[in-house]
């Protein structure tokens, strides 16, 4: 007797079925949020570039103050305090929105890149053009804290190649500015936003176990 496996009726997921929701954090779009296997549901949060604007203002102003004779030593700190307040308010909004999107999925597990270094204070980076060194660990830690406050599980996965491989076929594709293009003709993915693709790759590694998938990518 042969048995045929049928698709479950669409009544939502069962009690033990979890939704792996990938988060790709970056400077351009602060967070791309996408559940594994469903590229159409991706949401991008914090894409207006406001943090970059605040950061540039902070960098240029503190630089100027540090080069100007006679400026009191605490002037840079005052600028940082004012810019940091604006950055923190924006980041709090973004992180709230990210967790709202994650919680729209049934029994979610938030999947983000594994990060080994702790965030350092914005003060240490204030003269640097490179925003990501401060922003990415700061965002990831804040997302973890908000997830913990809301009781959402978090899993960290290997981030290597997550921007370069196609979320569906795992072949290495081409990055063209803000777009990822899959070059595997039998795949079916033509092109999509690069951050959304990366979020889907991370979600997939959370769902299937990133070690197995990572070895497949590098075979
Ligand atoms: Zn592909």
C-alpha of residue 190 to centroid of ligand 1, in Å: 7
Question: Can you give the pLDDT at residue 14?
Answer: 52
Low-confidence ranges of the chain (pLDDT < 70): 1-16, 39-40, 210-219
pLDDT value of position 116? 77
Q: Which pLDDT value is given to residue 211?
A: 52
What is the model's pLDDT at position 145?
95
**Taking phi first (over 0 means left), then psi (-120 to 50 degrees means alpha), and beta for anything else, what does residue 111 get?**
beta
Task: Report the distance separating Cα 23 and Cα 34, nearest Å.
Answer: 7
Q: How far is the CA of 198 from the centre of ligand 1 (A)?
A: 12
The dihedral formed by the CA atoms of 163, 40, 17 and 198, expressed in degrees to the nearest 10: 10
**Separation of alpha carbons 171 and 191, rounded Å:** 13
Question: What b-and-e string marks burial along 82-119, b requiring 16 or more CB atoms within 10 Å of the CB?
Answer: ebbeebeebbeebbebbbebbeebeebbbbbbebeeeb
CA of 101 to the centre of ligand 1 (A): 26
Rounded to the nearest angstrom, the distance between the alpha carbon of 88 and the centre of ligand 1 is 37
Give 64-98 pLDDT, tens digit per residue: 999 999 999 899 889 989 988 999 999 999 999 99
Backbone angles phi, psi at 192, to 5 degrees: -160, 170
Cα of 218 vs centre of ligand 1, distance in Å, is 15
Q: What is the pLDDT of residue 151?
A: 96
Q: What is the dihedral of CA 187, 188, 193, 197, to 10 degrees?
A: -40
Instruction: Given CATH 1.10.1060, say whether it is the number of domain 19-217.
Output: no
Dist. CA 31 → ligand 1 center (Å): 22
Neighbours of ion ligand 1 (CB under 5 A): 166, 168-169, 182, 184, 187, 189
Q: For residue 33, report the distance from its CA to the centre of ligand 1, in Å.
A: 19
The Å distance, Cα 201 to ligand 1 centre, comes to: 11
Q: Separation of 164 CA from ligand 1 center, angstroms?
A: 11
Domain ranges of the chain: 19-217
């Amino acid at each position: 007797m042969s048995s045929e496996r049928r698709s479950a009726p669409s009544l939502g997921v069962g009690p033990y079925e979890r939704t792996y929701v990938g988060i790709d954090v970056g400077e351009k779009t602060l967070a791309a949020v996408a559940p594994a296997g469903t590229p159409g549901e991706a949401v991008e949060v914090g894409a207006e570039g406001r943090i970059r604007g605040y950061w540039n203002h902070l960098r240029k102003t503190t630089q100027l103050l540090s080069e100007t004779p006679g400026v009191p030593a605490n002037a840079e700190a005052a600028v940082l305090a004012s810019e940091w307040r604006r950055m923190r308010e924006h980041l709090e909004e973004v992180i709230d929105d990210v967790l709202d999107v994650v919680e729209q999925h049934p029994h979610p597990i938030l999947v983000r890149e594994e990060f080994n270094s702790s965030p350092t204070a914005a003060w240490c980076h204030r003269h640097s053009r490179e925003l990501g060194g401060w922003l990415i660990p700061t965002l990831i830690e804040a997302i973890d804290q908000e997830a913990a406050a809301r009781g959402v599980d978090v899993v960290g996965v290997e981030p290597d190649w997550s921007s370069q491989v196609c979320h569906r076929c795992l072949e290495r594709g081409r990055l063209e500015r803000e777009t990822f293009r899959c070059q595997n003709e039998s795949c079916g993915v033509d092109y999509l936003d690069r951050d959304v693709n990366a979020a889907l790759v991370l979600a997939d590694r959370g769902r299937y176990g990133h070690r197995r998938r990572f070895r497949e990518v590098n075979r």
